[in-house]
Structure 1
């Protein structure tokens, strides 16, 4: 079997449990993923939601790195539009200096929340001076390179410390434009199939990435698996995704039509369009899941899959990590 498995965790708060319990479970998941040979474990960034405990991936990454030994840990991803590229580079250079070769910087274009939290995060920024996402990412890329800054003069700007191994660089996206941007900067591209998983959309974005000179692409997919196909089906909730386009504003992906309308309300928008999208949801037994991953590997040339489990129950997400790893070993044998 010629593809690697990685895992994305959003630290969901299940029912009435406390945030501390959700975060402790994330630690349990990463330790088990490391034991079972997963390549990466990523944590997400979401704002102003009581259902997810991961609002600051940099802080959580440091906590997880200190309690694991080998697995790469990173952000899936940092929502760059809210922050100084310089500060993001400092954060991830420091993490990389603490855990050489184990830190991934994944960056996303989405806001990670609705307009209310975006305004709170960007309240001190002058909108007229706010750079484009491409400009920010290019600036961030520059701060992650130190070849010309170590012996530079006092007037130059560098993001210290200088790690022995820089963080891995990944751009998360679901469009040909994102693929081309990743390739131009020499970043790895992660297609967000768990948000927009149409075969044609995946093919167009990965083709754009490779035609622009990109080499290493990953595919994020949602997986619901269990010992039987019927049990996997019974675990499915509402897995729909919606794309909201506001005239003159940034397009965003949300989990329900109600969230899209709330986004419109908070933004004060009147001219908008909501489109339902099809996430790449793979369901069934572990053997079924691996059969589909193998098909996607062959069709799109993807050598690594980032697994997102949309079920909030922590025991099931742990079981997902175990079932996929064990089935992989059994198939290989």
Structure 2
């Protein structure tokens, strides 16, 4: 195997489950991922979403770091528009001080929820002081880079870790790839949200021209013991693109969420479209073959695997079956 595999987890609640059960499974997932050889595990950020127990990835990251030994743990990602870049730098410098060399700071541009939750998160924040997303990311990078006080008036994002957290920008556009390259951050193409292969090719080509860092792609993967079961699980996954009259574009998981987003935003929807499924589903050997093909066609160095299945046993089985198949292939090579 000539590429790394990692995981993205949203701590979904299965039918009849509570948040503590979903979070306990996230811990199980992290410990199994470490034993199975996954490179990193990231925790997503979603707000006002009863089906997901992950509004604060930095809290879960600290908990997971304390109960694992080697695997990298991070955010996939922190929704920077809601927060002070300084506070984000403090949080992740603290995490990187607790577990030096194991912390990833993934940052996303999306709201991570519907407009009502966004307004609640940003209550009291002066919009005119925030600047653009690029401004905020540059501020965050600057806070993480400052490690020494020039005078008593210098502000540092303490504690200063022995190794700064590794930065990743999550996106699905040329603009995001260019921004990551400009700041010398890692970039992750969010193919789990936008599976347009032509766009993927264009963005990775541009990334290769601008950065020497790895090409990393997030994909949705479902592995099951037989292809029929995998197809049945994949059929339940929906991805909807929303474009509003105010220019805002978001990706949601259902048509009702798309309608709610437009209503809460107070801007009519210009376009609501269900995107073609980009889920890679099948038996372990079938999924491995598709990942191998993507790796060869696009030169992908690492896949961030999102398993969009709420039912706990099926999610854990998917993660285990994929790793076992890839590890066997590597031994045979």
Scaled to the shorter chain, the TM-score interval is: over 0.9
Residue 15 of structure 1: aligned partner: 15
Cα distance between partner residues in 2 of 1:30 and 1:234 = 26
Residue 242 of structure 1: aligned partner: 240
Residue 79 of structure 1: aligned partner: 79
Tell me, yes or no, if the aligned pair for 1:196 and 1:278 is still in contact at 8 Å: no
Residue 226 of structure 1: aligned partner: 224
Tell me, yes or no, if the aligned pair for 1:195 and 1:279 is still in contact at 8 Å: no
1:184 shift after superposition: 0.6
2:103 matched to 1:103?
yes
1:214 shift after superposition: 4.7
1:126 shift after superposition: 2.1
Cα distance between partner residues in 1 of 2:130 and 2:328 = 52
Cα distance between partner residues in 1 of 2:87 and 2:130 = 16
Cα gap change, 1:205 to 1:243, in 2 (>3 Å): same
1:213 shift after superposition: 2.7
Cα distance between partner residues in 2 of 1:84 and 1:238 = 37
Q: Alpha carbon RMSD of aligned pairs, Å? A: 1.3
2:231 matched to 1:210?
no
Equivalent of 1:285 in 283, 286, 302: 283
Which secondary structure does the structure 1 equivalent of 2:280 belong to?
A: strand
Which secondary structure does the structure 2 equivalent of 1:305 belong to?
A: strand
Cα distance between partner residues in 2 of 1:277 and 1:215 = 29
2:89 matched to 1:89?
yes
Residue 328 of structure 1: aligned partner: 326
Tell me, yes or no, if the aligned pair for 2:178 and 2:207 is still in contact at 8 Å: yes
Normalised TM-score (structure 1): 0.96
Cα gap change, 1:187 to 1:279, in 2 (>3 Å): farther
Cα gap change, 1:279 to 1:132, in 2 (>3 Å): farther
Tell me, yes or no, if the aligned pair for 2:149 and 2:156 is still in contact at 8 Å: no
Cα gap change, 1:22 to 1:87, in 2 (>3 Å): same
Which secondary structure does the structure 1 equivalent of 2:145 belong to?
A: coil
2:50 matched to 1:41?
no
Could you tell me which runs of 5 or more consecutive residues in structure 2 were left unpaired when the two chains were aligned: none
1:133 shift after superposition: 0.4
- Aligned residue pair count: 331
1:122 shift after superposition: 0.4
Which secondary structure does the structure 2 equivalent of 1:235 belong to?
A: helix
1:249 shift after superposition: 4.3
Residue 25 of structure 2: aligned partner: 25
Normalised TM-score (structure 2): 0.96
Cα distance between partner residues in 1 of 2:110 and 2:13 = 22
1:129 shift after superposition: 2.8
Cα distance between partner residues in 1 of 2:78 and 2:118 = 14
Which secondary structure does the structure 2 equivalent of 1:171 belong to?
A: strand
Which secondary structure does the structure 2 equivalent of 1:8 belong to?
A: strand
Cα distance between partner residues in 1 of 2:192 and 2:57 = 19
Deviates further, 251-260 or 54-63? 251-260
Deviates further, 97-106 or 236-245? 236-245
Cα gap change, 1:72 to 1:279, in 2 (>3 Å): farther
Deviates further, 296-305 or 242-251? 242-251
Tell me, yes or no, if the aligned pair for 2:246 and 2:267 is still in contact at 8 Å: no
What are the equivalent positions in structure 2 for 1:132-171 lying under 5 Å apart? Answer: 132-146=132-146, 149-171=147-169
Tell me, yes or no, if the aligned pair for 1:182 and 1:214 is still in contact at 8 Å: no
Tell me, yes or no, if the aligned pair for 1:193 and 1:279 is still in contact at 8 Å: no
